[in-house]
Structure 1
Amino acid sequence: CGAMTHNAKSCMERPRKIGAKWTNMHIAPDEKIESFELDYDGKRDRWNGFDPATYALVIERYEARDEARRKYLKEQQLKKLEEKNSKQNGEGGVSEEDDDEDALKVDEAKVDESKQMDFAKVEKRVRTTGGGSTGTVRNLRIREDTAKYLLNLDVNSAYYDPKTRSMREDPLPDADPNEKFYGGDNQNRLSGQALEFKQLNNYNVIKEKLKSRLKDIIAEKYGNAASEEEIPRELLLGQSERQVEYDRAGRIIQGVESFLPRSKYEEDVYINNHTSVWGSWWKDHQWGYKCCKQTIKN
């Protein structure tokens, strides 16, 4: 193509039969190459080269969508009110007060447009701590029923927890069970699957206790190598500071003779008329009796 800013391999033009180098015709212009000298932070800036003015298009698109949504909701509400007014006028039994009220509703719908956006409504938070999920308060008591905390106004009556809306004890323990509609939250603890859940929980507690007891028995019998107790120096290094002196006959002159640790098995028990214990003889990788050199225990 004749440009001086790239080589033939990087050229994006259509290949020519005879290059511009030989024909000296239709020479392509050189590309404009910008060089940036960025510092350490500039090379690693993820927003390098971003134009904030382009975000105005996104804002315009969202505003247009919100405006169309508000207009649609307003038209739907006005349509419903007009149908209601025409239906009542057709029946002919509408009072002047109803006409004024419907006209006022239509005017309010025309004036107040900002409240028609479905995403602008405020939802109540139910039992949330530090920003939990939002939702409408539902499945509560009927408004005509008396609140549980108003059944008994005595100060010493059943305690009502306003945070969880629970009252575990019966606020009216002396009343007839057939006449009262609420007897405390504890009456639900023995109904449905609550009893089965309680049995499973008790089984889990008993199982954990048995596992802990078995663990303690094994550790008491065989010891616990993972304990934080310090290992005695005699066992750790196989040596101690004890010093014993003997005479020529093998008697102890100074010090105390070391005692061999006793085994958990029975010692000095001679069976089958042997004069030595089993394990006192070793030959050819077999244990036996030292008295008769027998390698069969029984």
Structure 2
Amino acid sequence: MGLKKGPWTPEEDQILTAYIQRYGHGNWRALPKQAASFKSREDHRKQLELEEARKAGLAPAEVDEDGKEINPHIPQYMSSAPWYLNAEKPSLKHQRKWKSDPNYTKSCCGAMTHDKKSCMDRPRKVGAKWTNMHIAPDEKVETFELDYDGKRDRWNGYDPSTYAHVIEQYEAREQARRKYLKEQQLKKLEEKNNNQNGEGAVSDDDDDEDELKVDEAKVDESKQMDFAKVEKRVRTTGGGSTGTVRNLRIREDTAKYLLNLDVNSAHYDPKTRSMREDPLPDADPNEKFYEGDNQNRISGQALEFKQLNMHAWEAFEKGQDIHLQAAPSQAELLFQNYKIIKEKLKSKTKDTIMEKYGNAASEEALPRELLLGQSEREIEYDRAGRIIKGQETLLPRSKYEEDVFINNHTSVWGSWWKDHQWGYKCCKQTIRNSYCTGSAGIEAAEAAAELMKANIARKEATEEKPVQHEEKRLATWGTDVPDDLVLDKKLLAEALKKEDERRKEERDERKRKYNVKWNDEVTPEEMEAYRMKKIHHDDPMKDFLL
């Protein structure tokens, strides 16, 4: 209930006094609008006892405003409605779905049985979802619950009435056939009446009438003799083939495995009825009717298919996007275009050669007078057929220019050879585009050569000989010791002393000074001291040398 303006009523004073005594002073904002709905402790205890009785089934369940019973086991936080709903009676409406389901989908027409991708209506500018107008009705989708046999029934869903159209087609074809035969018979009768050739002609007409009579039960023999036809089985194990096979033979023909009874002849496979090799390779090809199954692979369209395969491989290797198995039509078209372009190019090349050189076969032959012509020139031959007198022998001419003098040269290029180089004999130059200098150039070249030789000789004479350090190196490093080597005893004693000190330093490197001055040169005395102090690990007396 709401607040009322005006003085306090006695009832309101009692309520306010009881509330202050119970909850204390001060927090006036916490005072709810429905302060009168608070229950006392006794009322609250009775409410709890009633709830326990309802849960135990001793008291009837609470009923909502719609007359439906409320389950007493529902927790209070679920059964009690929020304060902002202003629920005057207990109810569970706040827990139920209060939003209605959409009556449209994202499709154009708004039907619920299909999506936008499957919608067959014209796309709308604003869909039915947004306009909520002109929503199409849902389609009727039939669902069948079939058993095991029903799922595998081949005639499931077939309408037998549709077979009437097939019967009508056969009847129409039969009527057309009979009409045609009747027209042919009438035509023959008219020709018979107009014919005036006597009995012979009558007998011929009778034969024609017999030919017109068609036996409907007779089957076309061409269909029976069609050995190349292979019919596939339907619903059979393995999916094998029935009917005839293309390698069956006629009854009167000799079997291929009986043509040559030699054990080492062509192999016959009875399972596939194939014999790849020729059973009679030595027989006359004109008299043989069977040359082996491989003959079919090198005849007919087999060669064309092989060429097509090779063309596809070569085109793929050269970057063409072609695959015979994936796109056979494309490969066939490219191969046909390739052959056309190849023929055009070949004919163009042939025409170019014909225009340039002509065709001796197509030209007119020379007259007989010219072929067998005579002249007044006197020519003498010897016994071997060589010309002695009367006709000079022509020397073959080179394709290069001859007797051409350039750059004031008096001789041709290649008339002089020196140091594996060609040149001009007139000036002895080895550069082809050089200008001729004559004898002055030859003298200058000879003087330059002499000057170069003199410089080389002078350099060799003035060059100092290297110092002979070989003997010293051999004497110091111990490879070879000369026989005339003399050692100084004092220097040798000092070298032995230094060697002992060096060995002590190797044992204890801590006493070694940091700034040690080394001498790179080794004297013969130091080398002799090193040899004397050197310890061989294989020496059995090495322990006594320490």
Length-normalised TM-score, structure 2: 0.19
Which structure dedicates a bigger proportion of its chain to helix?
2
Say which structure, 1 or 2, has more relative contact order (CA 8 Å, 6+ apart).
1
- Which is higher, the Rg of structure 1 or of structure 2? 2
Length-normalised TM-score, structure 1: 0.33
